[in-house]
Structure 1
């Protein structure tokens, strides 16, 4: 899987923030040094897509009294960003008309990750959804969309699923049994969806485990659904990007990056694994549900 420019952008932003805070400068002061707007500089430190020049980075390194090694790291990260951008990362831009506001950031993290853990209490994760299951969800949440707009959304979802089965990508789905018993679309749609899960449970790099309805410990239910992204080291600098947690909300999405907060999601995922069925027992449960739906 290509890391794209997301990871080096995040690493560059983190390095710049560390140097700026050490120098005791504000973002406004830094933006004047780099000759960019305060908004643009803020986006740089946030790891968002913004043009970064070597001239501006050298000026910032001077202002931050960076060491030669720190300066080289900034310039190496900028070069890695340019190389990744030139290689054509960001496949989702072709589906800009089908992406809701802010979801491009999620897709960038998903593309960059080498391990994704998805805890779901209500719906099947997008990477494992069938087209008909996704269609039923889309019509329910966006009843005014035209058939053409819905098809674009479904095409985007299908394109995301190309990650599955790649040797450098691991997907862990932790699901409540309820996600398999909700009647999304129709019993036939659900039967196909459960079959999809069964088929993918044998694919290398994909783990699907179910928390059964009979489980009396409500671990995971209070935390709601969430996604954890973990990333490989950067190619050039070998910096290790810290993980990111994501929660999808009805009125807005939440990206969590503070280490102490992300660690809470990691601990919750570990607790959920303890109450989830084994992979084999999960497959047996899915098979029973599949037979019930036929």
Structure 2
């Protein structure tokens, strides 16, 4: 499922899911429900997918009337609609990101934890400014309208999530090639690998590498991905299931079907099975650092 810009992606996703559940409980097709409340079927699909524009109270009330919803459900949905209109801090950085990134940042900031597999580049939450610039130079044809200095400001603000030790965890599984690829040259990579060592000392951050010599694992046949988990709500119906993010050259994917989630949960578990532990990962990073220093 491709997605697009939204200032408050998580409340909108929860709202859409709850509306879909209520409709399905009444055994109504999307087309019939949309017709009954004078909406286009496509409009209702976008609303249920968490991709609609501003959600109006009158639409929520009309759908609740049609579905004969409980008063508690109506209050819950109206609250979610109100939450979906609130802007996140990242909205002030629209000049520093394309719409697809805006959606991802919104989910990242709402998450209680992310698990990522990266076979090519260091994940954004661990990148130095110099490494980011080197990556930006590679992709600048796709980012001609992006202000790089503002993008770095955005990146640093995103990275502050790593300091939220009580409410956010970050687990990164990296292929050894990520350490050895000379993005930006030896000097840039020295700074970047030192950053990995520093970040790995945080109690809520885990960085583990799969060496070239490891046995076969699921990461070899999967594209890089981020497994995003959200906080549990006191009201279970408001707890959003995990989402898998896959970045593409011409478009991003957000997967959330139960089978898809279980497939990627099994994938990262298989990668974890063969990855070095944190201590051995640090030793490998230090080995690569020595090699880089010898080149200067």
Alignment TM-score, normalising by the size of structure 2: 0.88
Q: Quick check: 249-258 or 176-185, which moved more? A: 249-258
Shift of 1:37: 4.6
Answer yes or no: is the 8 Å Cα contact 2:134–2:183 preserved in 1.
Answer: yes
Give the structure 2 partner of residue 56 of structure 1. 59
- Give the conservation status (yes or no) of the 8 Å contact 1:54–1:75: no
Provide, for residues 18-49 of structure 1, a one-character-per-residue CA deviation record: whole Å limited to 9, x for no partner: 22223343334433444545444322211235
Cα distance in 2 for partners of 1:64, 1:146 equals 47
Residues 216-255 of structure 1: matches in 2 within 5 Å?
216-234=215-233, 239-255=238-254
Q: Paired residue for 1:23?
A: 26
The 1:148–1:63 alpha-carbon spacing in structure 2 relative to 1, beyond 3 Å, is closer
Of 115, 118, 140, 1:142 maps to: 140
- How far apart are residue 284 of structure 1 and its match? 1.1
Unaligned runs of 5+ in 1: none
Q: Residue in 2 aligned with 1:73?
A: 73
> For 1:117 and 1:272, how far apart are their aligned partners in 2?
11
Is 1:154 paired with 2:157?
Answer: no
Kept after mapping to 2: 8 A contact 1:130/1:193: yes
Query: Within 2, Cα distance between the matches of 1:230 and 1:85?
Result: 22
Tell me the CA shift for residue 219 of structure 1.
3.4
The alignment's C-alpha RMSD in Å is 2.3
Moved more, 99-108 or 28-37: 28-37
Q: What TM-score, normalized by structure 1, do the two folds share?
A: 0.88
Identify the range of structure 1 (256-265 vs 150-159) with the bigger mean alpha-carbon deviation: 150-159
Paired residues of 2:113 and 2:170 also in contact (CA < 8 A)? yes
Matched residue, 1:164? 162
Q: Deviations over 1:171-219 (max 9, x none)?
A: 0010011101001001000000000000011012110011111213243
Contact 1:245 1:262 in 2 (8 A): yes
- 1:11 aligns with one of 4, 11, 14: 14
Q: Are the aligned partners of 1:8 and 1:77 in contact in 2 as well (CA < 8 Å)?
A: no
Instruction: Report the equivalent of 2:180.
Output: 181
Contact 2:54 2:85 in 1 (8 A): no
| Paired residue secondary structure (2:260) | helix
3-state DSSP of counterpart to 1:249: coil
Contact 1:173 1:207 survives alignment (8 Å): yes
The CA distance in 2 between the partners of 1:215 and 1:126, in whole Å, is 25
Task: State which drifts further: 29-38 or 106-115.
Answer: 29-38
Once the two structures are superposed, residues 209-263 of structure 1 have per-residue CA deviations (whole angstroms, 9 ceiling, x without a partner) of 1111121324311112100000112366663211000111122111101011111
Relative distance call for 1:52 and 1:280 in structure 2 (3 A) is same
Equivalent positions of 1:259-274 (< 5 A) are 259-274=258-273
Q: Give deviations 1:91-118, integer Å, cap 9, x for gaps.
A: 2211112222322221111111101001
Query: Map of 1:194-205 to 2, 5 A cutoff?
Result: 194-205=193-204
Offset of residue 144 of structure 1: 8.0
Q: Residue 105 and residue 33 in structure 1: after superposition, are their counterparts in 2 closer, same or farther (change >3 A)?
A: farther
- 1:76/1:237 contact within 8 Å kept: no
Unaligned ranges ≥5, structure 2: 1-6
What secondary structure, in the 3-state scheme, does the structure 1 residue paired with 2:206 have? strand
